[in-house]
Amino acid sequence: MYNSRITGLGYHVPDSVVTNDDLSKIMDTSDEWIQERTGIKERRHAKKGKDTTTSMGVAAAKIAIERAGIDKDDVDFIIFATLSPDYYFPGPGVLVQRDLGIKTVGALDVRNQCSGFVYALSIADQYIKSGTYKHVLVIGSEIHSYGLDMTTRGRAVSVIFGDGAGAAILSREEDTTKGILSSHLHSEGQHAEELSLIAPGMGKRWVTDILEDKDKEDTSYYPHMNGQFVFKNAVVRFSEVIMEGLQTNGLKPSDIDLLVPHQANLRISQFIQNKLGLADDHIFNNIMSYGNTTAASIPIALTEAWEQGKVKEGDLVVLAAFGSGFTWGSVVIRW
C-alpha cells in the first residue's frame, strides 16, 4: 500500500500585468465594477510569439521538478490539464514530454476546465496508489487572453480570466497517513452549454447551421458564460464536495488548516468560507492578482501558499474546484 504526496510545486505567470483600468480603456467597464463583483484587481496576459500554454506549463514544471529533488528522467507520467491547448490536437502533454526532454513516458491531457487540476491530481493519485508510477508530473496551464472577446460585448467574461501555469510533482509515499487522503469528482453535463466555448469543436458545424441570421458574426469562438447561473451552482457544489471530502475522512470544517479553492470569484470563496465557518487564515485566495486562470488557478495558489509558509507538514489541506461541464471535485491532503 502506498500513498501519494506532493513533493514539488511551481508556477509561472507572464510578465505583462493588465489592470482593471487598462481594460476600461478598451471596453465599457470599470475598476469599481470588477472589484466589487469579482475581487479581481489585475491579471496577467501572455505575450504573443513568446508564451504558449505549453511553454508556461514547462516553466512551472521545471520549478516543481527541482523542488521535488528529482530529475526530469524520474518522471514516470505526465498529466496536463487545460482548456486552452496550443493545438486542437495533439494535446500539450506530449509537447511537455518533448520540450522537457523527458523519456517516452505516457502523456495524458485532461479537459475538465476549472476542475482540471483536481481531476488530474486524482488520476495521478490512483496511479501512484496502485503502485504503477513513482513520480507523476501534473500541470495546469492556460492562455485565455488570446481567445477572449476584448470588446464591451465580451466584458462579462473577458475581465475575469487571466493567463498562468502551475505544476506539481506527486510522488510515492510509504507512510499512508500522509499525502492525498481522498479525492471526489462529479459532473452534471445537463448544464454543459452554460459555460462553454463551442468552436472549434465538431459541434460548431451544427451551431453555424442553426444561426437564424447567416450574416450574424459567429461568436462561437468566444467563451460563453451564464454568470449568475454558474455562480449559484458553484456555491452549492463547492460546499457539498468539500463536506464530502471531510466526511469521508471523519473530519469537519474546523479541522481544515488551509482551503485552496479554485479562484473563480472572490465572492464565491467568501461565501464558502462563511458557510464552513473558516477564519481568514484558513483559506487562500489570490484571484486579486491573477484573475481566474482555470486549470492553473489551484496549482498557482497552492504554490504561493506553500512559498509563504502557509502549508506545513501535518496540515490538513483541502483543494476544491467547480466549473464548466459542470464538473467539480475536491482533494483532501494531509501535508
Catalytic positions? 114, 262, 292
By CB under 6 A, tell whether 230 contacts ligand UT7.
yes
Apex 94 CA angle, 91 and 100, nearest 5: 135
In the complex, the smallest distance separating the C-beta of residue 267 from ligand UT7, rounded to whole angstroms, is: 7
- Binding track over 114-153 against ligand UT7, x by CB under 6 A: x---------------------------------------
By CB under 6 A, tell whether 172 contacts ligand UT7.
no
Contacts of 133 (CB under 8 A, 6+ apart): 76, 77, 124, 127, 172
Grid cell in block for residue 71? 530529475
By CB under 6 A, tell whether 40 contacts ligand UT7.
no
By CB under 6 A, tell whether 25 contacts ligand UT7.
no
296-324: burial string, b at 16+ Cβ within 10 Å, e else? bbbbbbbbbbbeeebbeeeebbbbbbbbb
Subset of residues 298 to 327 that bind ligand UT7, contact rule: CB under 6 A: 323
Subset of residues 278 to 297 that bind ligand UT7, contact rule: CB under 6 A: 292
Stretch that binds ligand UT7, among 48-56, 62-70, 142-150, 228-236 (CB under 6 A): 228-236
Contact assessment for residue 53 and residue 167, using Cβ atoms and an 8 Å cutoff: no
In the complex, the smallest distance separating the C-beta of residue 181 from ligand UT7, rounded to whole angstroms, is: 25
Q: Residue 331, Cα to own-chain centre: how many angstroms?
A: 13
Q: With CB under 6 A, what is the number of residues at the site for ligand UT7?
A: 20
In the complex, the smallest distance separating the C-beta of residue 305 from ligand UT7, rounded to whole angstroms, is: 19
Stretch that binds ligand UT7, among 28-36, 74-82, 98-106, 116-124 (CB under 6 A): 28-36
Between 206 and 229, name the residue whose CB sits nearer to ligand UT7. 229
Stretch that binds ligand UT7, among 56-64, 69-77, 169-177, 229-237 (CB under 6 A): 229-237
Pairing mode of beta strands 179-187, 17-19: unpaired
From CA 196, how far away is CA 322, in angstroms rounded? 14
- DSSP letter string, 301-320: HHHHHHHTT-S-TT-EEEEE
From CA 120, how far away is CA 241, in angstroms rounded? 16
By CB under 6 A, tell whether 265 contacts ligand UT7.
yes
Reduce the DSSP state of residue 323 to 3 states and report it. Answer: strand
Q: Where are the alpha helices (DSSP H) in the chain?
A: 20-24, 31-38, 53-68, 92-99, 116-129, 155-158, 204-210, 227-248, 266-276, 287-290, 297-307
By residue count, the chain amounts to 335
Find the Cα–Cα–Cα–Cα dihedral 283, 288, 293, 296, rounded to 10°. Answer: -40
By CB under 6 A, tell whether 106 contacts ligand UT7.
no
By CB under 6 A, tell whether 29 contacts ligand UT7.
yes
By CB under 6 A, tell whether 231 contacts ligand UT7.
yes
From CA 209, how far away is CA 298, in angstroms rounded? 38
Between 55 and 233, name the residue whose CB sits nearer to ligand UT7. 233
Give me the residue whose beta carbon is nearest to ligand UT7: 227
By CB under 6 A, tell whether 264 contacts ligand UT7.
yes
- Binding track over 232-261 against ligand UT7, x by CB under 6 A: --x---------------------------
By CB under 6 A, tell whether 268 contacts ligand UT7.
yes
Binding-site ranges for ligand UT7 (CB under 6 A): 29, 33-34, 37-38, 114, 155-156, 159-160, 227-228, 230-231, 234, 264-265, 268, 292, 323
